[in-house]
Amino acid sequence: MDYGDFGEARIMGDPRTLQAQVLSRLRRNIMLGRIEPGQSLTIRGLAEELDVSAMPVREALRQLVAERAVELQDNRRVRIPPMTIERFNDLIAARVVLEAEAAERAMPYVTEAIIAEMAELDAAITRAEAVRDYDVWIGANFAFHACLYGAAGRSTFLPLIESLWLQVGPFLRRAIMSSDTHYAVDRHHEALTALRLRDTMALRIAIEADIRDGISHIGSTLIRSEARRSAVSAGNA
């Protein structure tokens, strides 16, 4: 059972508890889509992989359940939830309403330094797209948004939004891996322009369009093709 390039979760000198380190590692890997939808996560398997005892893993999994990053099944097993069309549409809708509002509320606190950082992240995304580096592509994308929404240094919206990213991440990776093209309009660029102009409406529109573009269409198509494949598989069983 290989979850990607794991090694020990322990980092020498890290002041965080083991539990926090494990949680951080798992969150990152889920958000980057490095664990497939449907994949089960076992306490003992993860503990062995990360070279820790069961306790920090158990506690981390509890947190991930609460964040909806993983689902607790009837048989008490934990897995990355498979994606459905309805769930996908709900996740996109929730992202749109929360992120547009968060962006608007953040605008008064956005400094030139923040804009510069966001521009750097956007450039990183572009480079990652060119070489199909999915980790950076997805990671920098979320970081771009987090940079903006976190500008006020407050903590109500971002955890909600991160829960959505955790839920969408495993699927997002599959979606961009299966797409040959990318959507033509750089909405991040539009968002940056809106921020520089302090144009709230344009910022909202850019953020919403960014969330809705491409991935929405790719996502729906991929879910349908996976549902078709799943039905065939059920027919064989």
Partner DNA sequence: TGCGCCAATATGTGATCACAAATAGCCGGT
Partner DNA sequence: ACCGGCTATTTGTGATCACATATTGGCGCA
Which residues are at the interface with a second copy (CB under 8 A)?
Answer: 17, 19, 58-60, 62-68, 76, 86-87, 90-91, 93-94, 97-98, 101, 105, 154-157, 159-160, 163-164, 167
The angle formed by the CA atoms of residues 181, 220 and 23, to the nearest 5 degrees, is 90
Which range binds DNA by CB under 7 A, 13-21, 125-133, 154-162, 204-212? 13-21
Sign of the torsion formed by the C-alpha atoms of 128, 14, 161 and 92: positive
Question: E-assigned strands of 98-143?
Answer: none
Residue count (the chain): 237
Check if the beta carbon of residue 99 is closer than 8 Å to that of residue 211.
Answer: yes
The angle formed by the CA atoms of residues 164, 170 and 173, to the nearest 5 degrees, is 110
> Which single residue is written with the structure tokens 């889920």?
30
Cα 139 from chain centroid? 8
Residue 44 interacting with DNA (CB under 7 A) = yes
Among 7, 17, 178, 229, binds DNA (CB under 7 A): 17
Residues 47-76 that bind DNA (CB under 7 A): 52-56, 58-59, 75-76
Cβ proximity to DNA, 22 vs 136, nearer residue: 22
Least distance between a second copy and beta carbon 107 (Å): 14
Least distance between a second copy and beta carbon 75 (Å): 12
User: Site residues (CB under 7 A) for DNA?
Assistant: 17-20, 41-45, 52-56, 58-59, 75-78
